[in-house]
Amino acid sequence: MLAFSIPHTGLAETADSLAAPSGPVILKLDGDIAVTNVGEEAHFDRAMLSALPQHEFTTGTPWTEGNSHYRGPLMRTLLEQVGAEGKIINVVALNGYEAEIPVADFYDYDVILALERDEKAIPIREYGPLWVLYPFDQDKALLSERMRFRAVWQVMHINVRQ
């Protein structure tokens, strides 16, 4: 289970709310979360996600040619930011694809919500603007079919649940 902690990112207004997004909302989180900014949801614009501590790695993926450098917040950091208490997240993509991911993955591996590929925002047509991305080149176990199905691109919604 995740511990409730709010990193010092300047995003939180109080212990149970986030600042309101000032730009277009690109990610919504709901479910078993304690920190919100729109009703019972946490809405993030690109600037808010970029303000979280960033993690980066270079990896190849089963869907792209060669290696690329990816950057974005760790998924565990994002979940901690919203006070997530669940054990499973359901990630929904713009095209309706959904995947269930155990929160334990985010502590076993440095999984990021990729915002950038090779120092540029990821366009929708190239798996963006947000991509739940595993560091595939760091562990051969991540190349299994089960793990590949968890690497959701064009992410728009995350639901946290038990």
CATH code of 75's domain: 3.90.420.10
User: Would the pLDDT of 104 be above 50?
Assistant: yes
Cα-based distances in Å from 133 to 5, 108, 119, 136: 23, 13, 15, 8
Expressed as residue numbers, the domain containing 146 is 12-161
User: Is 1 inside any structural domain?
Assistant: no
User: Is 3 inside any structural domain?
Assistant: no
User: Is 2 inside any structural domain?
Assistant: no
Radius of gyration (C-alpha) of the chain in whole angstroms: 15
Total domains in the fold of the chain = 1
Q: Are strands 42-45 and 25-31 parallel, antiparallel or unpaired?
A: antiparallel
Roughly how many angstroms between the first and final C-alpha of the chain, as a whole number? Answer: 9
17 confidence band (pLDDT: 50, 70, 90): confident
pTM for the whole thing? Answer: 0.89
CB-CB neighbours of 126 under 10 Å: 16
Q: What integer pLDDT is reported at residue 81 of this predicted model?
A: 97
Report the mean per-residue pLDDT for the chain: 91
Upper half-sphere CA count for residue 79 (Cβ side, 13 Å): 31
User: Would the pLDDT of 102 be above 50?
Assistant: yes
Decide which of 5 and 51 is more confident: 51
User: Is 108 inside any structural domain?
Assistant: yes
User: Is 6 inside any structural domain?
Assistant: no
